[in-house]
Amino acid sequence: MSLAPMSPLVTLSSDPRTRLKLGETRGDKLRAPAPHDLTLEDQPRVLIVDDDKNLLTALDLALTRRGFRVRSAEGAGEAFEQIQREPGIELIVLDVMMPGMDGVAALRLLRNSSSAPVLMLSAKDAVVDRLAGFEAGADDYLVKPFDLDELVARLLALRRRAREQQPKRGELSYGDVFLDDRSWVARRGDRDLSLTPTEFRILQAFLKAPGTVHKRDDLILSVWGPTWSDSGSSSLEVHIANLRQKLEDEGQVRLIHTVRGIGYILKE
């Protein structure tokens, strides 16, 4: 990808599957739009996951000019690491056709660590392909090539709906347990919980789906990511034991229960 000096024109790969329209198009030349007037606080934070470096660069440029704060990843593993570093990511744009772990499999994994709305990108426009994305947990689906204005409109609509459904984004609670991943605060009743980052992520996973059995492998992926080792598996019980002790330090009722042979559940 190249940018002509003092010109808003962007050059992309000739592969039509990776082409997007940034305003007027002339062959591979794509005109970037003017930025939207958004305050820093209101700038949408988006993670783009695609193995096509040209498309990543083009979307980074175009969405940044539209007022987005953009992060990018070339695969599921890198995307998971970005989410762990920046839990405030509000939107995810995920390509379907990636080598190794494809977008549908990556989405199932990312759903263990993020509740951010996901828009899937794909050159596949068959109904069965769209359904596969939605069944894996996608919130929207856009076929390549696509128009930037439509992508921006869909992302802003996803963000607006997410904010309406969860007005206090970042806050999770169950019973007398409260967690805020924006300020990294956890409490039980009036008592602050001093949690390690791993204990915090484990509690966060439980609070996102209370009353649901969390399989051990799902918890491990949620906390340690797709590159986890056997050390992560063997230490899960230790971290949960420590988390239980901190939650029950003043004699409160146990909330994290073992489901023998399967995993754990958060319930009263």
Bond before 117 cis per omega within 30 degrees:
no
Put simply, whether the predicted model's pTM sits higher than 0.85 gets the answer no
| Burial class of residue 114 in the structure, from the number of CB atoms within 10 Å of its CB (0-12 exposed, 13-18 middle, 19+ buried) | buried
Sign of CA pseudo-dihedral 41, 43, 48, 53: negative
Per-residue model confidence (pLDDT) at position 123: 84
Could you give the domains of the chain? 2-165 (3.40.50.2300), 171-266 (1.10.10.10)
Instruction: Name the one residue in this structure whose structure tokens are 């986890």.
Output: 228
Mean of per-residue pLDDT scores for the chain: 78
Helix-, strand-, coil-residue percentages of the chain, each rounded to 5: 35, 25, 40
CA distance 213 to 106: 21
Measure Cα distances from 123 to 19, 75, 154 in Å.
10, 17, 17
**Angle (deg, nearest 10), helices 216-224 and 230-247:** 90
Question: Comparing 63 with 16, which gets the higher pLDDT?
Answer: 63
Question: Comparing 115 with 20, which gets the higher pLDDT?
Answer: 115
Contact between residue 112 and residue 104 where contact means Cβ atoms under 8 Å apart: no
> Checking DSSP bridges between strand 25-26 and strand 29-31, what pairing results, if any?
antiparallel
Record the tokens describing residue 62, joined without a space: 């175009």
How crowded is the C-beta side of 69, counted as CA atoms within 13 Å?
A: 12
Per-residue model confidence (pLDDT) at position 46: 94
Per-residue model confidence (pLDDT) at position 43: 84
Q: Which of 71-85, 143-157, 173-187 has the least mean pLDDT?
A: 71-85
Residue 220 pLDDT more than 90?
no
